[in-house]
Amino acid sequence: MHKLEQQGLTKLGKEILIYLLIFYFAHFCLSYLTTKVFFLCKVQQTSMETTLLPNQILLGKCQHFTKATIQRGAIVVFSGPPSEGNFLLIKRVIGLPGEQVTLKNGQVYINNSPTPLEEKYRISDTLTKKFNFEDIKVPLDSVFLMGDNSPVSVDSRTFGPIKLTSILGKIFFRLYPFEKIGKL
């Protein structure tokens, strides 16, 4: 081989190596972002209607919550309890760590407040009669979660408070359907 041919092969080899490195770096970054920073999920059930509808695609932020960082009203994805098949579920944070939650006469009360919790997102004014109970104390490492479509939702009223460590992250953006794309 001539010296020019060897230089051409070497140059081609370097270019291929550079493209491979770029591809692997991009793949690593995308994999990291979609497992450690953000996640996608598809709504499977009707328990969050009318806020979230079946088959909508959502974007969430992976987040480890503490008592200080969790917020009432946040829509979270969590690992459901074994009694519910350990599926990923989407619900709204209602009761914070250390709070007392009371469900009475179709309303939610926090810490014995005389005024019920304002829940504009709920599909119905009723929590259904079977869920009347008083004084559920949320443990300091847990939250009380409910679906917006409370008459059909299986949530903390059924399986109790959920540990903060079971929460994978917070939903913040709807990607699909395109006519409803936007921040939640």
Sign of CA pseudo-dihedral 106, 158, 61, 58: negative
Residue of 131, 184, 123 lying closest to 154 (CA atoms): 131
- Active-site residue, 129 included: no
Q: Are 34 and 40 in contact (CB under 8 A)?
A: yes
From 11, 47, 67, 142, active-site residue: 47
From 91, 142, 166, 170, active-site residue: 91
What lies within 8 Å, CB to CB, of 165 at 6+ separation is 64, 141
- Active-site residue, 91 included: yes
- SS3 state of residue 18: helix
Question: Where in the sequence numbering do the catalytic residues fall?
Answer: 47, 91
